[in-house]
């Protein structure tokens, strides 16, 4: 497969084989009305197998949040059928309403309208903590 | 300074300045008796903590200020389901500064984001309790003349005791301190705290034997070993007496050791030790009030 099929959109490449659906759900791609392709177990020179997602639109979401799931994935931005940008998602410093705090003693459990905010506390370990209770972020 | 949520909000300079002010309050209480005249402290205690509440209220009164507030959630609008944000927006209209105790972790941070006056965290669940740490540091400095170059033993529940973690974090910013951590295997200091010490090159040792650790200590900080932290009763009964400080155990200790405890104590320090000049836990209570006075002053006078 190639990226020519997409005119304006994104290709999320080098997703660890098997993680494609997780990222599909995380980005809520099922809700989009444009064409979306999830390719599973594509052959990869690097890792043997990989998943790829193609979206025929640039979704309005901070794609760097994907860095929390897997910093090895590649994001390609396509405009007028040309790849204009290619990058690995950076670990975001802060994520709002992407992760939910699971600590039963956290203020977010009683104050429903509070945003769930996690901040990066250890870049090497990919560790995020809740700004309110400092609990470690749950896995996605 | 806008609000005090965690001890990490204060740098070494702030802490030293607070201790200097507190020293001066001890020396010249009269000079401070009217400093906060016309000002109000709102003491918002969403869960009861008589000890901490009285300390804040006494601090404000001794500065010539006044106190409004509530001592438990039942008598507040929280009982009607009002959010922390709305409560503190309302209270900000009446008070100049807020001291807040809440059972949920992070509630004072939420309060500080909505209040238009400074918020002091007076304890949020088992999470942060910065004014306890300030009382502890000030007590060490009053008694030892310094908060650096000390061998500090912490004993008891080192796993869940946030008071201890916060004290270790604060003391590790000062040079030459060394920690001896005494606890049962089940209640050892969590790895993230040890990592923090390693990152800051602070030497520490771990042991299960209090008597053996005692002779080298300049400071001994005792905490409660709670029954509910153990998986079974047998382990608790087997271990509990090992972490009780008795006159016998103190025999090998230094003459200028200071013995601290955040209180309330249950039985981890035998009452016989109260008469020992090395016992400092009631001084800690008094020092806590002086540090809260210094803090209120810094937060309200610093604004000008
Ligand atoms: Zn939380």
Domain annotation covers residue B238 = yes
Q: What is the pLDDT of residue B216?
A: 97
End-to-end CA distance of chain A: 29
For ligand 1, a single-atom ion, the residues with CB < 5 A are A 101, 103, 106, 130, 132-133, 135
Q: What is the pLDDT of residue A4?
A: 53
Domain annotation covers residue B108 = yes
Is residue B45 located within the same domain as residue B160? no
- ipTM score here? 0.89
Q: What is the pLDDT of residue A46?
A: 74
Cα(B253) to centroid of ligand 1, in Å?
A: 42
Mean pLDDT of A105-124: 92
Give yes or no for residue A14 having a pLDDT over 50.
yes
Two structure tokens written together for B276: 């020992």
Q: Which domains does chain A have, with CATH numbers?
A: 9-87 (3.30.70.140), 94-130 (no CATH)
Is residue B25 located within the same domain as residue B110? yes
Domain annotation covers residue B251 = yes
Is residue B266 located within the same domain as residue B193? yes
Is residue B135 located within the same domain as residue B256? yes
Q: Residue A107 and residue B83: Cβ atoms within 8 Å?
A: no
* Chain B residues interacting with chain A (CB cutoff of 8 angstroms): 83-85, 102-107, 109-110, 124-127
Q: What is the pLDDT of residue A132?
A: 97
Query: pTM for the complete prediction?
Result: 0.88
B125 CA to chain A: closest CA distance, Å? 7
Is residue B245 located within the same domain as residue B294? no
The residue with tokens 């836990």 is: B281
Cα(A91) to centroid of ligand 1, in Å?
A: 20
Partner B contacted by A118 (CB < 8 A): no
* Cα nearest neighbour of B128 on chain A: A133
Is residue B220 located within the same domain as residue B244? yes
Q: Divide the 304 residues of chain B into consecutive groups of 10 and give the mean pLDDT of each group.
A: 92 96 98 98 95 97 97 79 94 98 96 97 94 98 98 94 93 97 93 92 96 96 84 80 91 96 92 96 97 98 62
Within 8 A of A134 by CB-CB distance, chain B residues are 105, 127
Is residue B280 located within the same domain as residue B292? no
Give yes or no for residue A39 having a pLDDT over 90.
yes
Q: Residue A132 and residue B85: Cβ atoms within 8 Å?
A: no
Is residue B60 located within the same domain as residue B164? no
A65 CA to chain B: closest CA distance, Å? 24
Is residue B151 located within the same domain as residue B40? no
- Does residue A17 contact residue A51 with C-beta atoms inside 8 Å? yes
Q: Residue B104 and residue A107: Cβ atoms within 8 Å?
A: yes
Q: Residue A111 and residue B84: Cβ atoms within 8 Å?
A: yes
What is the domain count for chain B?
2
Percent of chain A having pLDDT more than 90?
Answer: 48
B9 CA to chain A: closest CA distance, Å? 14
Domain annotation covers residue B2 = no
Q: What is the pLDDT of residue B303?
A: 47
Is residue B123 located within the same domain as residue B157? no
Q: Where are the alpha helices (DSSP H) in A63-135?
A: 66-69
Task: Look over chain A and give the mean of its residue pLDDT values, rounded to a whole number.
Answer: 88
Q: What is the pLDDT of residue B1?
A: 63
SS (H, E, C) B229-293: HCCCHHHHHHHHHHHCECHHHHCCCCCCCEEECCCCCCCCECHHHHHCCCECHHHHHHHHHHHHH
Q: What is the pLDDT of residue A61?
A: 73
Q: What is the pLDDT of residue A112?
A: 87
Within 8 A of B125 by CB-CB distance, chain A residues are 105, 133
Is residue B134 located within the same domain as residue B279? yes
Cα(B104) to centroid of ligand 1, in Å?
A: 9
- Does residue B158 contact residue B185 with C-beta atoms inside 8 Å? no
Within 8 A of B162 by CB-CB distance, chain A residues are none
End-to-end CA distance of chain B: 11
Backbone angles phi, psi at A77, to 5 degrees: -105, 125
Is residue B226 located within the same domain as residue B112? no
List the domain range (segments joined by +) for residue B43: 7-128+288-301
Domain annotation covers residue B256 = yes
Give the 3-state secondary structure percentages of chain A, helix then strand then coil, rounded to 5. 15, 35, 45
By annotation, the residues of B acting in catalysis are 51-52, 80, 101, 129
Partner B contacted by A111 (CB < 8 A): yes
Give yes or no for residue A71 having a pLDDT over 90.
no
Q: What is the CATH number of the domain that holds B45?
A: 3.40.50.1370
């Amino acid at each position: 497969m190639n990226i020519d099929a997409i005119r304006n959109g994104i290709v999320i490449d080098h997703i660890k084989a098997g993680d494609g659906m997780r990222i599909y759900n995380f980005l809520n791609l099922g809700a989009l009305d444009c064409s979306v392709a999830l390719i599973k177990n594509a052959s990869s020179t690097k890792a043997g197998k990989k998943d790829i997602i193609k979206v025929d639109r640039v979704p309005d979401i901070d794609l760097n949040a994907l860095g929390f799931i897997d910093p090895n994935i590649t994001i390609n931005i396509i405009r007028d059928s040309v790849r204009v940008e290619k990058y690995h998602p950076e670990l975001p410093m802060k994520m709002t309403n992407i992760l939910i705090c699971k600590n039963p003693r956290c203020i977010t459990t009683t104050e429903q309208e509070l945003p769930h905010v996690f901040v990066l506390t250890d870049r090497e370990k990919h560790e995020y903590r809740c700004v309110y209770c400092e609990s470690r972020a749950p896995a996605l | 300074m806008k609000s005090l949520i965690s001890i990490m909000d204060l740098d070494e300079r702030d802490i030293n300045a607070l201790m200097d002010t507190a020293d001066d309050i001890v020396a010249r209480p009269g000079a401070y008796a009217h400093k906060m005249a016309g000002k109000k402290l709102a003491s918002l205690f969403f869960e009861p903590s008589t000890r901490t509440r009285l300390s804040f209220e006494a601090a404000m009164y001794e500065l010539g200020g006044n106190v409004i507030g509530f001592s438990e959630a039942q008598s507040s609008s929280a009982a009607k389901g009002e959010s922390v944000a709305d409560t503190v927006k309302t209270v900000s209209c009446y008070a100049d500064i807020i001291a807040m105790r809440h059972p949920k972790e992070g509630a004072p941070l939420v309060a500080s984001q909505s209040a238009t006056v400074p918020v002091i965290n007076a304890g949020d669940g088992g999470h942060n309790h910065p004014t306890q740490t300030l009382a502890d540091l000030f007590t060490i400095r009053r008694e030892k003349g310094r908060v650096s170059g000390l061998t500090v033993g912490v004993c008891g529940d080192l796993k869940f005791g946030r008071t201890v973690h916060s004290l270790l974090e604060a003391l590790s910013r000062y040079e030459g301190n060394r920690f001896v951590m005494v606890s049962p295997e089940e209640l050892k200091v969590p790895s993230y705290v040890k990592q923090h010490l390693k990152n800051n090159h602070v030497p520490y040792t771990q042991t299960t034997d209090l008597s053996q650790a005692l002779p080298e200590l300049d400071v001994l900080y005792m905490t409660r070993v709670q029954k509910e932290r153990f998986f079974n009763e047998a382990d608790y009964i087997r271990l509990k007496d090992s972490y009780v400080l008795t006159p016998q155990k103190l025999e090998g200790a230094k003459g200028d050791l200071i013995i601290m405890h955040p209180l309330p104590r249950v039985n981890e320090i035998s009452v016989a030790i109260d008469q020992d000049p090395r016992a400092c836990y009631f001084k800690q209570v008094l020092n806590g009030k002086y540090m809260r006075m210094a803090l209120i002053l810094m937060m309200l006078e610093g604004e000008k």
